[in-house]
A and B are shown apart, each in its own frame.
Chain A
């Protein structure tokens, strides 16, 4: 298996080619060793933090920004969106409040990224 990956560990943005040979991964196109680490991780287990919003009632705005507390597997992003989009909370909310526990069995929570007081 072979994959083209752009390294984002620094602004140079090297075009990496990551190739699986038996049980080893071979990275080419990198200009430094950080590229090897990034390339292998991106090939074997790409993960992303997912920031989005949920519905909030009684707050200053109708939407509350939230994000996963850690990076989740990239392949689960759309499943995660489907779950997060169902969530409705009531103001007040404090930054860091958990709005979804253990998202999709990843052990990772979804938390509020903003405090929103109740407005009457």
Chain B
């Protein structure tokens, strides 16, 4: 059988892309998911705060996921669980997906298009190189989240968390509620990488200290963690001698960042952007290899699932357009990150493919107030994004009207942080 679309991963990105592609007329779709259920990482994110943009309600992760899972089931879109995708092959008009599961064994599935939605994974202690033995009791925050929230296995009693990303903050509260003592959250940067609401509701509410400009320099203990050495760092992030503090604990959680999961993408020779660690994509999330699309955390790490859903609708539309032979391939614009911006998605734009205004997603490099983000073509500012404050932790979504983009034939769109114009 030749599928229209095979979707690699059944998280929020894969589900939203499937639903949209189906509604756009592509009906021969298959979702492949390695876990025992659909929903992706949301299944372990039991806290609330999801869906404020999409549903105008505060949902928990599983509730948000279930809304999309129900749509997939109502439309009878087929999916295979407990099925791992191993490899992708590109043969022009046909693609071959290598996948494996217990029932069917090794499968070679043929499809006209594939949408990559494998999500991201967490950086580990190895990835950041903390000295010390490798005793038990060191977990990534997401692994601990899964153990506690899904398996019901408590990972420790006295905890120090390294990194103030949202998952670390959420886990500080979660472990406190389950009776653990969270002694500190250490953040090497002078600002937190988490959302303000999480700092307030997860740390301040429970009097958990947030140590900014601090890092763990040593993990003590041979079999089980016995404590950590924490030091203050200078502006070059180097530990300052004399600031050592020993904190006894039995558990260390690492919340030191997420990396898009792109082994399969790389093996298929799909071009990767070193800034995002994800595939280079266009306005409808087409990759540089025709017929392959990508969306969600596999493209760039999102902090809000609402934006994942929004982006995935584009990929679903794109795949359907490609199947109808309507997807134009000549991009007019390339996007460039200027001063203060670390990346921009999409990396290129073909205005003819746009049905509506286009949202560009980007991150700033620093904490800024009294600035704007400008989109610039040549010497001309074509659009401005205002906000009272820009934080690296909060992705900037910058919508530019289709009519505005149509005024310019082609070229580079540079996004940059500029000082706010003085009020006249």
Contact = CB atoms under 8 A, between A and B. Distances in A.
Nearest to B66: A95
A48 B391 CA distance: 25
Interface string B381-419: 000000111010010000000000000000000000000
A51 B151 contact: no
A8 B201 contact: yes
Given A48-B201, A62-B151, 11 more contacts: A6-B196, A11-B388, A12-B389, A13-B196, A49-B58, A53-B148, A63-B151, A95-B62, A113-B62, A113-B63, A115-B66
B70 to A, nearest CB: 9
Contacts of B149: 53, 63, 65
Interface string A1-26: 00000101011110000000000000
Contacts of B200: 6, 8, 13
- Of B47, B66, B148, chain A has the most CB atoms within 10 Å of the CB of B47
Given A6-B199, A11-B387, A11-B388, A51 B46 contact: yes
A72 B43 CA distance: 24
A8 B151 CA distance: 32
A65 B60 contact: yes
Interface string B16-52: 0000000000000000000011000001001110000
Contact of B37 (A55, A60, A63): A60
A37 interface: no
Contacts of A78: 177
Contacts of A51: 46-48, 60
Contacts of A115: 66
Contacts of B66: 95, 114-115
A77 interface: yes
Contact of A114 (B63, B201, B394): B63
Contacts of B204: 6
Interface of A: 6, 8, 10-13, 31, 48-53, 55, 60-63, 65, 67, 74, 77-78, 81, 95, 113-115
21 contacts: A6-B196, A6-B204, A11-B195, A11-B196, A11-B389, A48-B201, A48-B205, A49-B48, A50-B177, A52-B46, A53-B148, A61-B150, A61-B152, A63-B149, A63-B150, A63-B152, A65-B62, A67-B60, A77-B177, A113-B60, A114-B43
A11 B394 contact: yes
A112 B158 CA distance: 29
B385 to A, nearest CB: 13
Interface in B177-215: 177-178, 195-197, 199-201, 204-205
Contact of B388 (A8, A10, A49, A77): A10
A113 B201 contact: no
A27 B310 CA distance: 37
A61 B149 CA distance: 10
A63 B147 CA distance: 10
Nearest to A78: B177
Contacts of B43: 114
Interface string B141-163: 00000001111100000000000
A48 B177 CA distance: 13
Nearest to A115: B66
A70 to B, nearest CB: 10
A113 B44 CA distance: 12
Contact of B205 (A10, A31, A60, A74): A74
Contacts of B150: 61-63
A8 B389 CA distance: 13
A60 B201 CA distance: 30
A77 B391 CA distance: 31
A55 B148 CA distance: 11
- Of A50, A67, A114, chain B has the most CB atoms within 10 Å of the CB of A114
B413 to A, nearest CB: 25
Contacts of B152: 53, 55, 61-63
A81 B30 CA distance: 41
A12 B388 contact: yes
Given A48-B205, A55-B152, A60-B37, A8 B197 contact: yes
Nearest to A61: B150
Contacts of A55: 152
A79 B204 CA distance: 19
Contacts of A74: 205
Given A65-B46, A65-B62, A115-B66, A52 B201 contact: no
Contacts of B195: 11
Top 9 nearest A-B pairs by Cβ distance? A114-B62, A13-B196, A65-B46, A63-B152, A8-B197, A113-B60, A12-B388, A62-B152, A61-B150
Contacts of B199: 6
B253 to A, nearest CB: 18
Contacts of B63: 95, 113-114
A11 B388 CA distance: 8
A8 B195 CA distance: 9
Contacts of A13: 196, 200, 389
